[in-house]
Amino acid sequence: MGMAKLWIIGTLTVIHIVGILIFTRGFLLTRTELPYYSNCSDVSQSPCSSPNPPQCWTGPAVDRLVIIVLDALRFDFVAPTTFFKESKPWMNRLPILQRLASINGSSSARIFKAIADPPTTSLQRLKGLTTGGLPTFVDVGNSFGAPAIVEDNLIHQLASNGKRVVVMGDDTWVQLFPHHFKKAYPYPSFNVKDLHTVDNGCIEHLLPSLYDEDWDVLIAHFLGVDHAGHILGVDSLPMIEKLEQYNGILEKVIDVLGSQSGQGGLHENTFLLVMGDHGQTINGDHGGGSAEEVETSIFAMGFKKSPSSIPSEFDSSSCEINLDQQKTCISTIQQLDFAVTVSALLGVPFPFGSIGRVSPELYALGAGTWNLESTNGDNSQNHSKEEEWMQNYCNVLCINSWQVKRYIDVYSASSVIGFSLDDLSLISDIYAQAEEIGSCSFKNSLLYNESSNLPLPALRRQIDAYFNFLLSVAELARSKWTEFNLQMMAVGLGIIFFSLLIHFLAIKRITNPYRISLFPSGDFEVSFRLIFAYSVVVIRACSFLSNSYILGEGKVAIFLLATTALFKLWYSVKRKMMLIEAIIFLLLITILRFTIEVGLSKQAMTSQFMSAHSSWMLEIALGHPIWIHIAEIIPISALMLLAYLLYMTMISSSSWGICKYAVLGTILCYILIAVHWASESSISSSVPMLQGIGKNSVPRIIYVMGLGQLLLLAFGQLFNKERALNSEKSLVIKTVAMLSACSSTVIILSGKQGPLIALASITGGYCIMRLENIERDPKDNTARALTFDPLSVTQWSLLATCLFFSTGHWCAFDGLRYGAAFIGFDEFVLVRQAFLLTIETFGFSYILPVFGLPFLVARQYLMGQTEKDGKLLSMQLSQIYLMYGFITATTVIATMICVAIHRRHLMVWGLFAPKFVFDVAGFVLTDVLICLAWLYYLGREDGKKRQ
């Protein structure tokens, strides 16, 4: 019977894993970041003509660059009103840009509509702008916590090619590029309600810096518009004031730059970019993929006049007459193209992972692309300037295409989930076609040769071929990397739902032989309890639909756990029994609540979504030496108490058999841990002999002993034929042995809080066990008495969740305690350290609770009452494990639905996706642990039957 049920559990586990894998394939945008960087020398590998004068990939077209980023700059803030159906109060507030961009103003300034890729948050957009790539999900693999960009990017290329970069404003830049700037004036971007600090800081440094010579690229990032939108929306007075303020600043900046742009001036060949990183909705929100959010603007202006306009077929602009009866043209550019275009203008290598194309309109604004020197030469007479520019641009595109092709090839070779072979061969075909034309692969020197006058149509064909290639790569990458596969997500969800149904039927089937209905009709009280238990699970599951509840998940769990505890207290008052246990349980919950708040305050310090509240608990002066001593002594005495408890349990009964050795080993481990901690602490200074024990040897001994104990128990289970699961006593002994074998490793990994948390979980478990079925009438001994109280299992799982949070974890990758992975080891080995980290993260919240579940079944033995027969016991045990799995599955399903709904949410990558990863990992772990526990506790049942 045990085995017959084991296959149900096994099948469920497999179904869960399959469903989750399919869902994950559809949900996680799994682009891996490659650690490769482009170098100047790489260009020799390209089939393109190497540039004539010794230079990098492209000749520098501008000398200096000023980038002014206005956060959340909507397209209609910049473009003239005539481009829109109706005029709004926030339009036409940056007239300086419109005046310059109009044809009559200056031909070397232009307004672009820039299209961003969602998610449209500042951090993701800055990443996209500088790397020229599409967003990734997690940079877990590379960066532990810090958001610094590790992929090749524009700023890295600037810094490594000797360009001096100055940044001011939003401190996100400094977080993303901690070591790249020559000078940085960061201001905190945290406080959304503060409209002016960042902007005033920018203004303070921007204008003086324009007179300095010690930079090549200047970045000023203003946040006022973003913040004004967040708090008041677009249609508000502060927004208009902000825009008018910016207009004034931009006027001044352009004045300064213009005044110095004469021959030999400081800004003779300076290029100005005024741009937004993303748009915003009328309410000021951004993050999603709606047109208002993704459409932002770039205003570009070169201070050295470029001679003429580019051929009209590459000019995709649309022109309108603006209010001053002047013609203004607006082109469209993808933000993807920004990094590579700026790299080409400044003459630095293109970022390795960029998949953008050099935008013709923006590139043409750079005066240096026009080969002005050659206008003085004689041989240029035959070429029109236009033709020469096309020649130059064709070369740039050639390098561009080669770089993108190289990235796609390297990516497919090194990434687990690359492109499909069909897609790759299609891309290769298009690239080969483009290369075959080979019109611009003439050597530059030939350009000056009169005989090799390139026909214009050939050049155009060549450029079109490159465009075709680059656009199809971008399209393919977009579909692979930024679009969720909704079908796969739906299939995955469907599979998990199906498994939930099977789960439910399995619970029913197991109880069937005993004619116990899960939904007893007629008895109001029993069904009320059932409904209460289910509604607690459902409330918790539904709470995952909101980001606030996910952030405060620990609080929600405590709230629900305390509610169930109050419910139990209510019953214990009703039955006039076990009042003390109920009160102790409530007290324990109160204590756990405070530990969770400490964890939350830690999280708030690192999280970008939570505001840091100074917790009253942290205000207690911890510096006093007495506190230090107490903090050292308490864990050790708690550990001794645990060892004592274990010892008392062991000597209280005989017939322990092989389990006795496991428990003895654990007691030894506890003593070792105590010695280890004592030797690390300041107490040890008085006991010099303790210092001799190595820092790493004790943890290693404990790991080995834990493994040995587990093996011992497994072999004991395997070879001990006669001891079947026939009494609650043997079940209790097995459970204690198993828990003690696991506990020593978990405790040493958890650090000083370990023993205290272990004591808390023992107390909590004891209270839940005692209070189980308190609702039932004690005299009622009918079949209904045999069924198990789902409320207790719910409490057990809620307690496990609370323990997860009270041990200082939270569902984010910066919530992992990486230090724990190095207890006992100094060097990093991925598998070993990941294993330790998993045990530390899920130890108290998944491993111990799952193995401890049999206590709930064996309560009657523990309470000194009559024993049940073996069959009934195994039925209850299977029931309880299935219920536990069911509860976990319900919450995970809720998380999956939530990420599916919120896939375009602002916080999807920061909050929902990590939560999903943690939940799914915990879910699979629970399934596997349930299988193991099933084998361990129930496996022998089968052997008994066969004999």
Residue 241 · residue 93 · CB < 8 Å: no
- Give every CB contact of residue 936 below 8 A, 6+ residues apart in sequence: 713, 714, 717, 734, 738
| Dihedral Cα 923, 542, 123, 333, nearest 10 deg | 110
Candidate list 414, 479, 546, 697; residue touching other proteins; CB under 8 A: 546
One residue of 108, 499, 511, 547 binding other proteins per CB under 8 A: 547
Phi-psi region of 27 (alpha: psi -120 to 50; beta: other; left: phi over 0): alpha
* Residues 6 or more apart whose Cβ sits within 8 Å of residue 505: none
**Binding residues among 353-372 for other proteins as defined by CB under 8 A:** none
Region from 333-341, 566-574, 676-684, 697-705 binding other proteins, contact rule CB under 8 A = 566-574
State yes or no: residue 822 binds other proteins (CB under 8 A): no
Of 808 and 843, CB closest to other proteins: 808
Tell the smallest beta-carbon distance from residue 607 to other proteins (Å): 12
User: What long-range pairs does 580-586 form, CB within 8 A, spacing at least 24?
Assistant: 581/766, 581/767, 581/770, 581/771, 582/767, 582/771, 584/763, 584/767, 585/764, 585/767, 585/768, 585/771, 586/562
Spell out a b/e string for 284-299, using b for 16 or more CB atoms within 10 Å of the CB, else e. Answer: bbbbbeeebbbbbbbb
Q: How far is the CB of 803 from other proteins (least distance, A)?
A: 16
- C-beta of 570: minimal distance to other proteins in Å? 6
Q: Min. distance of Cβ 278 from other proteins in angstroms?
A: 21
Cβ neighbours for 483, distance < 8 A, ≥ 6 positions apart: none
- 392 and 60 Cβ atoms separated by less than 8 Å: no
Which is closer to other proteins, CB of 509 or CB of 574?
574
Long-range contacts of 700-703 (CB under 8 A, 24+ apart): 700/824, 700/825, 701/672, 702/669, 702/672, 702/673, 702/744, 702/745, 702/748, 702/824, 703/745, 703/824
Contact call for residues 54 and 514 (beta carbons, < 8 A)? no
CA 878/CA 930 separation, integer angstroms: 10
CB-based burial label for 513 (10 Å; 0-12, 13-18, 19+): exposed
Shortest distance, position 547 Cβ to other proteins, whole Å: 7
Cα distance between residue 167 and residue 180, in whole Å: 10
Residue at 541: amino acid letter: A
Shortest distance (Å) from residue 863 CB to other proteins: 22
CA–CA distances in Å: residue 750 to residues 557, 806, 839 = 21, 11, 9
Residue carrying the six token digits 């057990």: 796
Element (DSSP H or E) covering residue 334: strand 327-334
Contact region for other proteins (CB under 8 A) — 92-100, 417-425, 586-594, 849-857?
586-594
Residues 587-606, mask of contacts with other proteins (x by CB under 8 A):
x-xx--xx------------
Token pair for residue 461? Answer: 């064909």
Minimum CB distance to other proteins smaller for 502 or for 573: 573
551 in contact with other proteins (CB under 8 A): yes
- For other proteins, give the closer residue by CB, 576 or 946: 576
Nearer to other proteins, 236 or 444 (CB): 236
**Contact window for other proteins (CB under 8 A) among 582-590, 712-720, 744-752, 802-810:** 582-590
The answer to the question of residue 672 lying near other proteins (CB under 8 A) is: no
Q: How far is the CB of 597 from other proteins (least distance, A)?
A: 9
Interface of this chain with other proteins, residues 55 to 84, rule: CB under 8 A: none
Which CB atom, from 558 or from 698, has the smaller least distance to other proteins?
558
Scanning residues 897 to 916, which ones bind other proteins (CB under 8 A)?
Answer: none
Strand order in the sheet with 64-70: 183-187, 165-170, 217-222, 64-70, 270-275, 295-302, 109-115, 327-334, 318-321
Q: Minimal distance in Å, beta carbon 815 to other proteins?
A: 18
Tokens 């990032």, residue located: 221
Per CB under 8 A, the segment of 544-552, 630-638, 709-717, 782-790 that binds other proteins is 544-552
- For residue 98, the surrounding DSSP H or E stretch is helix 95-101
Kindly tell me which of 226 and 388 has the beta carbon lying closer to other proteins.
226
Give the one residue of 509, 574, 695, 700 binding other proteins; rule: CB under 8 A.
574
- Nearest in space to 937 (alpha carbons), one of 731, 713, 718, 723: 731
| Minimum distance of other proteins from residue 604's CB (angstroms) | 13
- Identify which range of 116-124, 166-174, 553-561, 751-759 contacts other proteins by CB under 8 A: 553-561
Q: What is the DSSP string of 643-687?
A: HHHHHHHHHT-S--TTHHHHHHHHHHHHHHHHHHHHHHSGGGGG-
Q: Which of 37, 481, 497, 549 binds other proteins (CB under 8 A)?
A: 549
Q: How many residues bind other proteins (CB under 8 A)?
A: 26
> Residue 399 or 550: which CB sits closer to other proteins?
550
Residue 818 interacting with other proteins (CB under 8 A): no
How many whole angstroms separate alpha carbon 480 and alpha carbon 483? 6
Closest CB 601 distance from other proteins, rounded Å: 12
**Can residue 565 be called a binding residue for other proteins (CB under 8 A)?**
yes
C-alpha span between 467 and 397 (Å, rounded): 8
Q: Is 566 in the site for other proteins (CB under 8 A)?
A: yes
Considering the complex, state which of residue 558 and residue 742 has its C-beta at the smaller distance from other proteins.
558
Q: Compute φ and ψ for 221, nearest 5 degrees.
A: -115, 110
For other proteins, which residue of 449, 548, 691, 696 counts as binding (CB under 8 A)?
Answer: 548
Q: Which of 165, 219, 272, 556 binds other proteins (CB under 8 A)?
A: 556
Q: Per-residue string for binding with other proteins, 610-629, x by CB under 8 A?
A: ------x-------------
Per CB under 8 A, the list member of 243, 294, 463, 562 interacting with other proteins is 562
Q: Which is nearer to other proteins, 481 or 549 (CB)?
A: 549
Q: Is 118 left (phi over 0), alpha (psi -120 to 50) or beta?
A: beta
Residue from 149, 225, 364, 558 in contact with other proteins (CB under 8 A): 558
Nearer to other proteins, 353 or 552 (CB): 552
For the CB of residue 546, give the shortest distance to other proteins in the complex, in Å.
Answer: 7
Residue 438 structure tokens: 């080979």
Nearer to other proteins, 456 or 566 (CB): 566
Contact 558, 801 (CB under 8 A): no
Q: Is 570 in the site for other proteins (CB under 8 A)?
A: yes
Binding site for other proteins (CB under 8 A): 546-549, 551-552, 555-556, 558-559, 562-563, 565-566, 570-571, 573-574, 576, 586-587, 589-590, 593-594, 616
